[in-house]
Amino acid sequence: MAKIRVLVAGFKGRMGQTTCHMILEHSAEFELVGGFDPYSDPNQNLSQQLNLTDGSEIPAFSKIEATLQAKPDVWVDFTTPASVQSNTQFCLEHQISPVIGTTGLTASEIDALTATAAQQKLGGLVVPNFALSAVLMMKFAQEAVKYFPDVEIIELHHDNKKDAPSGTALRTAELMAAVRKPKQQGASDEQETLTGARGGNYEGMRIHSVRLPGLIAHQQVQFGGVGEGLTIRQDSYDRASFMTGVALAVRKVQGLTTLKVGLENVL
């Protein structure tokens, strides 16, 4: 069986680096054929820039059009919110199956990319969170909100994360909104004495974002009822926790026929 040819976009970032090492460790089924980063050193290959010691010479590309030379089957994207839409569009137009781990895509951008995927008859995955515990947390939250409609989300990430709230928090709120009927009321005369103290509002559900050094990725979905409460929490203490999901997405994405949101689509 032929190996899946994988290109990692954003290979210089921490998630990109971890993904490159995971692909290399799964050499029986995956082949790392290149990396893309517009700020990569044109005088060094991917192996040199990642300090690999196996003597391999994997190309690193700073121009997106040049990545076609590597002939990837799957493009894994851990770049930035500013570039992820154009990167995904490029993949779809060139029959490269995208696995998108970069958060920040808007609903309208996902709709446009879904339409492009349908036109190209190509599948892809947009994954807010690759941790299996996070997928379960979102599933459990969607079930719980049917019984506890009063809910808030607290998401906590490292201080270098560029978008807030996180894609996981937004996806959780979206899933809960699909089944949540009564709307959270709260005090009719509530006033913020400090702007933003109550967090962002997603269809009546508040989302609070914490950014601190030392954190990786964490989320707490807190439900309140009459005389009781329920808390569902997920923690990722190491980026290695995401790699089982990344590997699964790489294996499964070529079997999809349209663009899907969420790792649960290939579980």
Q: In 77-114, which positions are buried (b, 16+ CB within 10 angstroms) versus exposed (e)?
A: bbbbeebbbebbbbbbeeebbbbbbbbbbeeebbeebb
146 is an annotated ligand-binding site residue? no
**Which tokens hold the place of 121?**
């008859």
35 is an annotated ligand-binding site residue? no
Supply angle C-alpha 170, 175, 178, rounded to 5.
Answer: 125
How far is residue 223's CA from residue 48's CA, in Å, rounded to a whole number?
49
34 is an annotated ligand-binding site residue? no
116 is an annotated ligand-binding site residue? no
18 is an annotated ligand-binding site residue? no
Supply angle C-alpha 259, 264, 265, rounded to 5.
Answer: 35
130 is an annotated ligand-binding site residue? yes
Kindly report the length of the chain. Answer: 267
168 is an annotated ligand-binding site residue? yes
**Which tokens hold the place of 166?**
């996180």
Catalytically active residues are 157, 161
DSSP structure class, residue 26: T
53 is an annotated ligand-binding site residue? no
Q: Is the peptide bond before 72 cis (omega within 30 degrees of 0)?
A: no
127 is an annotated ligand-binding site residue? yes
**Which tokens hold the place of 80?**
């930035």
Query: Which residue is associated with the tokens 């201080």?
Result: 159
104 is an annotated ligand-binding site residue? no
162 is an annotated ligand-binding site residue? no
Binding residues for (S)-2,3,4,5-tetrahydrodipicolinate: 158, 167-168
Binding residues for NAD(+): 10-15, 101-103, 127-130
Binding residues: 10-15, 101-103, 127-130, 158, 167-168
